[in-house]
Chains A and B, each alone.
Chain A
């Protein structure tokens, strides 16, 4: 691709000649005779390199440079100066110009500088892209490996838990045969019951963990999202009323049916609504569940007027076992499970939150499952 160069100088003949010579050397050149004109063009097109005369009437070279850097930080700027304005050129460097050249300059020198500036811009862009990619890869990879770890732990824990519960049952079996004496008998029975109850709790946890990590799928079907939402909201109304929370829906009637597993989508919605009810707390408030189309995706927003999520927590809310609820009241797996389900459906889940004002979770689902989903099903 040709480098796109903007040439800014108030001397028309100089600009025209230079532009022609640069075009001959295979650059894509636009020109401007004034700073203001240059900024119009900068706003409209993406230039790789801008060559700006330091001394111009109206908007001067330095001001033009500042504006260019503000509007398009990635565009590299080369300042052109006369002998008298070297100081200006230095100031330009401080403000982010890539280099400066003294007029009259050799065309080859200028070409050399433009190429270097272009290379620097390209490298810059690449780094930014890489940085972006890296963040995403780490996030997804981290959750994936957490899922694997969680599944591994759950499987390993299941067996000892099963044995413990059976041994407790075995003691119960044996106690039935014992003669009904001994003051400790009731206490032993109580303790056994407790062991069983706690074993049951372990079982619930490992099951939740495994459903966060699981690879299998429930049956896919054509799903009328709005109907499902009304259903789930209906289910949650009781809990909501108890907490003095009003749940409203605002459903876009134009949403097409999506291909998804009803039980999985229901699980996501229930988790989000229950979290919202908890966030609102006993003081009452409002939850709104809405649907809308965005390009080819369906978006479900669950917003609450609750306590919000502090910035220090927001990065961790999708991590397995992260919870702010008191010990014993939440496993910290709800959002991990939601994340897992939505990710497997080829969708995205995002959160916006403001402390004391409320939180909105947005679940974006494709109308048709993407390739990832289909591959998973075939596996």
Chain B
């Protein structure tokens, strides 16, 4: 379940967590082309294992995951790695969950399907906020 798309040193290290394989595959490729170093996970449990052993600047987390509620996952992410900035992906209509997420320290949320440029902007803002270091 782990895929490294690029190994550039300067790139933003991003953990992409979504249970739609087709989505993370294509999104990883597109982000990789834009100098973002993507590791993807299809399950929250996989993401947690990856997060324990690696440093990331930003995580993209789908709030609707099969094996765990997205908000639960967010709490664990922030506990394991407090400096990581989390961008939540939500379906339209789950704004409440998204707002809950923001109050738990998520950086931002986007509704799915989201525009790649919007997503890129958020990722870059999040990475800047964290100052590019890993710190965790």
Contacts and interface: CB of A to CB of B under 8 A. Distances in A.
Do A and B come from the same complex? yes
Interface of A: 151, 154-155, 158-163, 165-167, 169-170, 173, 199, 203, 206-207, 210-211, 213-216
B112 interface: yes
Interface string B14-28: 000000101100110
Contacts of B95: 216
Contacts, number: 60
Contacts of B133: none
Interface of B: 20, 22-23, 26-27, 29-30, 33, 64, 91-96, 111-114, 116
A158 B91 contact: yes
A183 to B, nearest CB: 26
B29 A170 contact: yes
A165 B113 contact: yes
Given A161-B113, A163-B23, A199-B113, A211 B30 contact: no
Contacts of A163: 20, 22-23, 26
Given A159-B112, A173-B33, A166 B92 contact: no
Given A163-B22, A216-B93, A203 B113 contact: yes
A36 B111 CA distance: 73
B91 A170 contact: no
Nearest to A156: B91
A155 B64 contact: yes
Nearest to A208: B92
Given A169-B116, A170-B30, A151 B93 contact: yes
Contacts of A210: 91-93
Contacts of A170: 26, 29-30
A154 B112 CA distance: 11
The 10 A-B residue pairs with the shortest CB-CB distance, nearest first, are A162-B113, A214-B93, A210-B93, A216-B96, A163-B22, A166-B26, A210-B92, A207-B92, A163-B23, A159-B20
Nearest to B117: A169
A284 B84 CA distance: 59
Given A158-B113, A216-B93, A216-B95, 5 more contacts: A158-B112, A160-B22, A173-B30, A210-B91, A215-B93
A146 to B, nearest CB: 15
